Amino acid sequence: MTVSEILDPLLTAESWKHAGRDVAIATVIETWGSAPRPTGSHLVIDGEGNFEGSVSGGCVEGAVITEALEVIESGSPKMLEFGVADETAWRVGLSCGGRIRVYVERLG
Amino acid sequence: MQLEALTKLNAARRSRRAAVVVTDLASDAVTVILEGDAASGPLGEEIAKAFRSGKAGTVEIEGQSLFLNVHLPPPRIVVIGAVHISQALARLAPVAGYDLTIIDPRTAFATEERFEGVELIADWPEDVLKVRPLDAYTALAAVTHDPKIDDFALSEALRVGCFYVGALGSRKTHAKRVERLKEMGRTENEIGRIAAPIGLDIGAASPAEIALATLAQIVQAFRRRDLVTAG
């Protein structure tokens, strides 16, 4: 793999899966206000919590990774929402003041 | 999403083919649609729209909430000819978000000094395009005035369906070019796609203005392209 391929979350997800690792894919589904990453951006996570890509440029990745581990465990997708209006924002909020919705699914 | 769908998507991305991933947010069902695949009905229209705009988003169709993610290859410009116009175009293109490569076998023109920081290949298009093929997300601008250098690249651009094909030269020059391209096996429809004289008609006079008119025409061709037909 070239450097740009290693940094590509979807190519990473494919190679992880081929290597026998459990994988979840998180995708930005919707953004409001100033969100750091556009709709369609990906973060991919393996069963050990390793990750590649981003859904917010670093603000909420920690929380997404925790949820992704549950999705890998259960197999059921989750819809997450982060933002200043949300109570969770105080814990894992977006410093830019935007809101995002993130869909997390298991790679089957 | 299943590994099979991801593999299909990544294969398309590696070969610079556009794809839309449709995810049913209620059932987790994923479909990968490649550009050129027939897609009909209201979903087909939304998919065609997504291919054109390049923007991801959620659509509601018959009570279903569907997320459409768009993967377009990054657009790029290949210029045949390391001439004065190309020097200006090489500076303008990155501002508009286009990668740019210049090909010219004439080493007197294709010098590092004239094209600092620009990807420049001093070789014949016949040889370069074999290893770096043109595709639907590439714009081809042929500006050498020399049939020996321009013609092969133009013919190849029409054959593979570059989203934009432009050629510098007067109407008289172009009429002769049309005859040569026909002899090379290009159809009248294909040849009719060539923008000649090159560039939007803004009364461009200087090389920099011609470069600007050409870039504007390339942006227009990219944003208004309609490669997906609702079947």
Domain of B107: which CATH number?
3.40.50.720
The tally of domains found in chain A comes to 1
Domain residue limits at A26: 3-106
* B207 and B94 co-located in one domain: yes
Q: How many helices (H) and strands (E) does chain A have?
A: 4, 5
With CB atoms and an 8 Å threshold, state whether A27 touches B9: no
CA distance A82 to chain B (A): 18
Range of the domain at B115: 76-223
User: Stretch B52-70: mean pLDDT, rounded?
Assistant: 92
Which of A39, A76, A105 is opposite residue B57, by nearest beta carbon?
A: A39
What mean pLDDT, rounded, does chain A reach? 85
Q: pLDDT class for A95, splitting at 50, 70, 90?
A: low
Coil, helix or strand for B138?
A: strand
Contact A108 B6 (CB under 8 A): no
Instruction: Kindly give, in sequence order, each residue whose CB lies less than 8 Å from that of residue B71, ignoring residues fewer than 6 positions away.
Output: B9, B12, B13, B18, B19, B20, B21
B84 and B126 co-located in one domain:
yes
Nearest CA in chain B to A21: B3
CB contact under 8 Å between A105 and B3, yes or no, is no
Residue B16: pLDDT band (50, 70, 90) is confident
CB pairs under 8 A between A and B: 47
Single-letter residue type at A76: S
Tokens representing B121? 């290949």
Question: What DSSP string describes B77-130?
Answer: EEEE--SHHHHHHHHHHHHTT-EEEEE-S-TTTS-TTTTTTSEEE-S-HHHHHH
Q: How far apart are CA B52 and CA B223, in angstroms?
A: 7
The ipTM (two decimal places) reads 0.84
Interface of B with A (CB under 8 A): 1-3, 6-7, 9-10, 13, 23, 25, 28, 55-58, 67, 69-70
Residue (of A38, A50, A44, A30) closest to A102 by Cα position? A30
Tell me, yes or no, whether B168 and B133 share the same domain.
yes
**Claim to verify: residue B105 and residue B219 sit in the same structural domain:** yes
pLDDT reading at B160 higher than 50: yes
Q: Which among B3, B56, B67 has CB closest to A17?
A: B3
If asked whether residues B30 and B126 sit together in one domain, one would say no
Count of domains in chain B?
Answer: 2
- Residue B156 domain-assigned (yes or no): yes
Is B229 part of a structural domain of the chain?
A: no
B92 and B202 share a domain? Answer: yes
Of B6, B56, B58, which is closest to A13 when you measure between CB atoms? B6
CB contact at 8 A, A103 and A87: no
> Is residue B62 located within the same domain as residue B18?
yes
Contact across the interface for A40 and B3, Cβ inside 8 Å: no
- Closest CB to A14 among B6, B23, B56: B6
User: What is the tens place of the pLDDT at every residue in B120-143?
Assistant: 999 999 999 999 999 988 999 999
Query: For position A56, what pLDDT does the model report?
Result: 85
Same domain, B145 and B56: no
pLDDT score of A13: 97
| pLDDT cut 90: percent of chain A above it | 60
Asked whether the beta carbons of residue A39 and residue B55 sit closer than 8 angstroms, the reply is yes
* Same domain for B152 and B172: yes
Predicted confidence at residue A6, as pLDDT, reads 64
Residues B126 and B217 grouped into a single domain: yes
Residue A5, pLDDT score? 61
Place of tokens 């923007």: B55
Last residue of a domain, one of B56, B71, B86: B71
pLDDT in tens, B193-225: 999 999 999 999 999 999 999 999 999 998 886
In chain B, residues with a C-beta closer than 8 Å to the C-beta of A45 are none
Chain mean position to CA B153: 13
Distances (CA, A) of B49 to B65, B212, B218: 17, 27, 19
pLDDT in tens, B73-113: 878 999 999 999 999 999 999 888 788 999 999 999 999 99
Asked whether residue B144 is domain-assigned, the answer is yes
B65 and B81 part of one domain: no
Q: What integer pLDDT is reported at residue B123 of this predicted model? A: 97
Q: What's the mean per-residue pLDDT of chain B?
A: 92
pLDDT for residue B215: 98
pLDDT tens digits along A6-58: 678 999 999 999 999 999 999 999 998 777 788 999 999 999 999 999 998 77
Residue numbers in A near B67 (CB within 8 A): 27, 29, 103
Least confident of A84-98, B21-35, B137-151: A84-98
- Residue A96 has a pLDDT of 59
Final residue belonging to a domain, choices B71, B99, B129: B71
State how far the Cα of A56 lies from the Cα of A101, in Å rounded to an integer: 10
Which of residues B71, B100, B125 is at a domain's end?
B71
d(CA B53, CA B18): 12
Asked whether residue B228 is domain-assigned, the answer is no
CA B157 to CA B179: how far, in whole Å? 17
Give me B198's structure tokens: 């090159």
| Tokens describing residue B202 | 């803004």
Residue A108 pLDDT:
92
Q: In what order do the strands lie in the sheet with B76-80?
A: B119-121, B99-103, B76-80, B138-142, B164-167
| Rounded average pLDDT over A56-80 | 92
- The answer as to whether B175 is a domain residue is yes
